[in-house]
Structure 1
Amino acid sequence: MSVHGAVPVPRAAMVDLGALIRSRRNACRPRMTQAKLGDAVGYSGPWVCRVEKNELTPPWEVLVRIASILDISPAALGLVSHPPGLPISHEPARSAFEGPPTISVAPHQTPKDQEDDPVRRRNFLTGAVGLGGALVAGSTSAVAIGRPAGAVDPVAALEAALFRPAVAAPMPLNRLLLALVAARRDFREARYESLGVELPALIAAAEATRDELTGALRDKASVMVARSYVLASELTVKAHSEAAWVTADRALRAARDGGSPAPIGEAARVLAIAMRRSGRPHTAVELLTNTAMSLGGEGGSSTQSTLTVRTSLLLTAAYSAAVAGDRSSALDLADEADETAGRLPSMSDTSLFTVSASPEQRALYRVGIHNALSTPDDGIAYARSIRPAQLPTAERRARFYTDTARMWHRLDDPRRTYAALRGVEQQAPEEARRPSVRALTASLVYSSVRIPGLKEYAVRTGAV
C-alpha cells in the first residue's frame, strides 16, 4: 500500500500557507532550495513547489516538520494540537497492542538464498551487461539530506539510468529470469539499497534481450522488461521519487507489447499509484477498475494469476477511493476484492507478483483504507486480526507496522505509535528510513509527549 493523501488542516482565513513557507525557506541562510526542504521532510522538490503554489496541503505531521525546519510557529501555520476531524481515543491499552511489538518472523531464507547475496548478484549483473563501475559506485555514494550517516539513496542510480541508459548485451532468457527473481526477492525482503543498484543493469539487460528477439520469445522478454520496471516503480514510489511516473509508463508499454493480461494489470497498478501520488486519485480509481474488469469479473473464466492481480488492482482502487474521500466506493471495492480472492483455487505464491491476495494482505489494506477515510477506529479490528508472522515478506510485515503506527497516531496514542514504528525498524530497517515513515517519526519527536528511546530512534532512522 501507498502514503495517505493530504489531510485538510484549517488555517487562519488570511494566511497564505504556500507564500509563508516559500518566504521562510528563502530567508534561510544559506538559502534552502525546494529540493533540500523536500528531502528533509521526505518528499521531492516538485512536491514542495506544489505546496508553495497552494496546489497541495501537506499532511498534519509533515506540516509540523516543516514548521520546525523553517522555524515557523505552529500557530502561524494554523496548526492545532491534533489533526482536526480525527477521533481521539482514551481507551485503555489492550493486551494485543501493548508496549513494544513482539516480533515473530517466519524463516524465509534458505541456504540457497544465503548464497545468492546482493553482492554476488550485483557482480553477476554488472559483468553480464557490461555496466560501468561508475554507475554502481555513484549510487552508493549519494547520501541524501535527512538520511543517517552512511545511508544510501536507494533510487539514485536508477534515476540516473532512466535518462542515461546503460549499454547492455542480450542474455539468455533463463539467466534473465533468475536475475529478475533475485531482484524481486530483494524488494520483498526490503533490501532497497541493493535493489536500486541492481535494477539499472537488470533493465538494460532485459531491454537488450527483448530487442534481439522476435515472435513468442520477444513477448516473453517484454514481460520481463515490464516486470523489471514494475519493481522500479515500487521502489521509486517508496522513495517518493517523481521517477515513478517514468518507470510506471515504461512498465505498461512493455507489458502491452508482451500481451499477457497479468503483467498488464501489474503495470497498470503501479501507474495508478503514481497518479494517486500526484493528486489524481479519481483517475487512478478509473484506471484500476477498468483494468480489473478486463481481467475477469464475477462468473468469468480467469487463471489464478489474473485473479490474484485483479484482487490487488481492486484493493489499490479501494485505497485510492479512500484517499479521494469516497467512502462508499472504497468499501465496495474492498468487498469486491474479497469476492475475487474467494474464487482463487489456492493461495500459493509462485508468481512474480509483489502483492498477493491472501486474507492477511486484504485485512492490511482495510487498515490503510480506514486510515485514509479518517475512521481509524474501524481499522483496529482488522489490525488485530493480522499476525505479522503470517505475512510472507519483510516488506509486508514492515507495512503492517507502518499502517498500525499511522492508525495509532490518528487515534492520538503516541506510545502505541512508537511501539509500531519500532516494529517497522525491526522488520526492515530500510522501511524505517522511508520519507513518509521519517515524517511520522518526526511528528512524534516534536510533540509534547516524551517517550524513552524515541529521540535515539529518530536519529538512527534519519527523522531528525
Structure 2
Amino acid sequence: MTATSGLVRLGRRRLGWRQADLGVRIGCSASTVSRLEASRHPADIRLLTAAATAVGLPPILLAAACGITTGADPRPTRVAPHAPPTEEDPMHRRTLLTAAGTAVPASLLLAIDDALAVTPTGTGTVPVDHRLAQARKMWDTGRHTALLAELPGLLGDAHRAARSRTPLDHARLSACYLLATQVLGKIGRYERARLTADRATTYAAVAESPIATAAAARELSIVLRHQDQPAAAHRLPATAPADRLFRISPAGADLYAVGVHWALGDAGAALEAGRHLRPDQFPTPERTSRMHTDLARAWWQYGKPEQTARELLAALRVSPSEVRDRPSIRTIVSSLSSRHLHTPGVRELALALTR
C-alpha cells in the first residue's frame, strides 16, 4: 500500500471504524475503501482527500505523504529557547497523539498506561467494594474523566486485596478490569481495552466465577469486534454459561437491535427497531444517552442531519461525556458543523465540543 493509504487505514482503525463505516461517510462502498487502503499506486485524489479528512488526517500530513511540498520553512520549530534534547518515550508519544481531538486529558491516559505496565501500590484506606461501587456510579452517570482518574488507584487496591487469593477477591479484581475495559472502549482506546479485557478474563478464570467469566467474555467480544476480528468475537459468547447472567429488558433488546442494524448498514431497520424507545425505559444516564447516540448514528446514516442533531443534543443534556468523549460521535458532530451548520442544534453541539 502507499504511505497515504496506510495513514487512512491507521486513522480508520484508531476511530474504531470498519471499512463500511468509512464508506458511508465518504459516499462509497466498503469494497472501494478496501481497494483504496490496499492500493500500491496513487488513488483517486478526491476520494483519498475525502477519506483522509473523514479520519482526521491533517492536511499537511496528507500533503507530505503524497509527496507535495508546501514551501514552509523546513527547519524545526523551537518551542523553548533552552530546552534540553530529549528522547521521547514512544508509548507516551502515541498516547499524546491519540488523546488529541478528544475531551480526555492526555495525562489520564498516561496514568492508565503506567498502571497497566506496573501495578500501582494500593492505598488500602477504602474497601475495594466501596471504591468499585463509586467507580461504577461514575460510569453510570457518564463521568468518564473522573473514572479514568480513579482507575489506577482502584486497580492498585484490587490487586492488593487479591493477595488473599480468595475467589471473591479475584472476581472483584476481574470486575475492576472489566470497568476499565468499558470506559476505554467508550472513548475509543481499543488497544488498551483489549489488554484490560484480557486481564478481566484471566482473573475471572482464576476466581472460577461463571458470572465474572461471562461478563469478561462479553466485553472482550465487543473489543474484538471494534478491532475488526468478528470471527473471534463471535466465538467468545459460546464459552459463557447458558444461564441468564445479564439484566435485559424489552427496551434493552430493542436498543441492541438498533446497534446491530446500524452496524450492518441498514439505517431504516435500525430506526424501525428504535421507534418505541423512550428515555424513561433506561435506568442510568449512560444507557439513556447511549439510546440517543445510537439513534443519532442511524439518522446520520439515513441522511437526516436535523434528526441526528436532535438526538445528539438529547444525549448531550443527559450525559455530556457521551458526546464529547467518543471519537465516533465527535466525528459526526464535526461533519454536521462543516456540512449543516445552519441546521437547528448544530451550533450548540459544536460549541459543546470546544468547552
The TM-score bracket by the shorter chain reads 0.7 to 0.9
CA contact (8 A) 2:309 2:344 kept: no
CA contact (8 A) 1:61 1:440 kept: no
Structure 2 counterpart of 1:67: none
Partner of residue 382 from structure 1, selected from 252, 265, 273: 273
Partner of residue 59 from structure 1, selected from 3, 6, 22: 22
Structure 1 counterpart of 2:334: 442
Aligned-pair CA distance for 1:144: 3.6
The alpha-carbon distance between structure 1 residues 57 and 380, as it changes in their structure 2 partners (threshold 3 A), is closer
Partner of residue 451 from structure 1, selected from 318, 330, 343: 343
Residue 190 of structure 1 aligns to a residue whose secondary structure is coil
Q: State the distance in 2 between where 1:365 and 1:177 align.
A: 29
The alpha-carbon distance between structure 1 residues 408 and 368, as it changes in their structure 2 partners (threshold 3 A), is same
Spell out structure 1 runs of 4+ moving beyond 6 A: none
Bigger helix fraction: 2
Partner of residue 409 from structure 1, selected from 294, 300, 303: 300
Structure 2 counterpart of 1:362: 253
Aligned-pair CA distance for 1:170: 4.9
Q: State the distance in 2 between where 1:440 and 1:42 align.
A: 16
CA contact (8 A) 2:341 2:347 kept: no
Structure 1 counterpart of 2:105: 152
The alpha-carbon distance between structure 1 residues 457 and 42, as it changes in their structure 2 partners (threshold 3 A), is farther
Which sections of structure 2, spanning at least 5 residues, go unmatched? 28-42, 52-95
CA deviation vs aligned residue, 1:230-255 (integer Å, no higher than 9, x gap) = 00000111122110111001000111
- Are 1:424 and 2:325 counterparts? no
The alpha-carbon distance between structure 1 residues 373 and 143, as it changes in their structure 2 partners (threshold 3 A), is closer
Aligned partner letter, 2:205: R
Aligned-pair CA distance for 1:373: 1.7
What's the TM-score once normalised by structure 2's chain length?
Answer: 0.73
Aligned partner letter, 2:330: R
Residue 283 of structure 1 aligns to a residue whose secondary structure is helix
Report the count of equivalent residues.
294
Aligned partner letter, 1:77: L
CA deviation vs aligned residue, 1:33-60 (integer Å, no higher than 9, x gap) = x9xx95xx8936xx7xxx9xxx967624
Structure 1 counterpart of 2:115: 161
Alignment of structure 1 residues 125-140 onto 2, 5 Å: none
Aligned-pair CA distance for 1:73: 9.4
CA deviation vs aligned residue, 1:334-372 (integer Å, no higher than 9, x gap) = xxxxxxxxxxxxxxxxxxxxxx31111111001111111
CA contact (8 A) 1:147 1:462 kept: no
Structure 2 counterpart of 1:270: 219
What's the TM-score once normalised by structure 1's chain length?
Answer: 0.57
Structure 2 counterpart of 1:308: 245
Q: State the distance in 1 between where 2:3 and 2:294 align.
A: 32
- Are 1:20 and 2:4 counterparts? yes
Aligned-pair CA distance for 1:446: 2.7
Higher RCO structure, 1 or 2 (CA under 8 Å, sep 6+): 1
Q: State the distance in 2 between where 1:253 and 1:77 align.
A: 42
Aligned partner letter, 1:269: R
Aligned partner letter, 1:264: T
Residue 14 of structure 2 aligns to a residue whose secondary structure is coil
The alpha-carbon distance between structure 1 residues 261 and 271, as it changes in their structure 2 partners (threshold 3 A), is same
Residue 329 of structure 2 aligns to a residue whose secondary structure is helix
Aligned-pair CA distance for 1:449: 6.5
Q: State the distance in 2 between where 1:262 and 1:189 align.
A: 24
Aligned-pair CA distance for 1:273: 1.5
Aligned-pair CA distance for 1:194: 0.8
Aligned partner letter, 1:182: Q
CA deviation vs aligned residue, 1:414-443 (integer Å, no higher than 9, x gap) = 100111111111111111111111011122
The alpha-carbon distance between structure 1 residues 73 and 452, as it changes in their structure 2 partners (threshold 3 A), is farther
Q: State the distance in 2 between where 1:282 and 1:439 align.
A: 27
- Two-structure CA RMSD over aligned residues (Å): 3.3
Structure 2 counterpart of 1:115: none
Structure 1 counterpart of 2:80: none
Aligned-pair CA distance for 1:75: 2.8
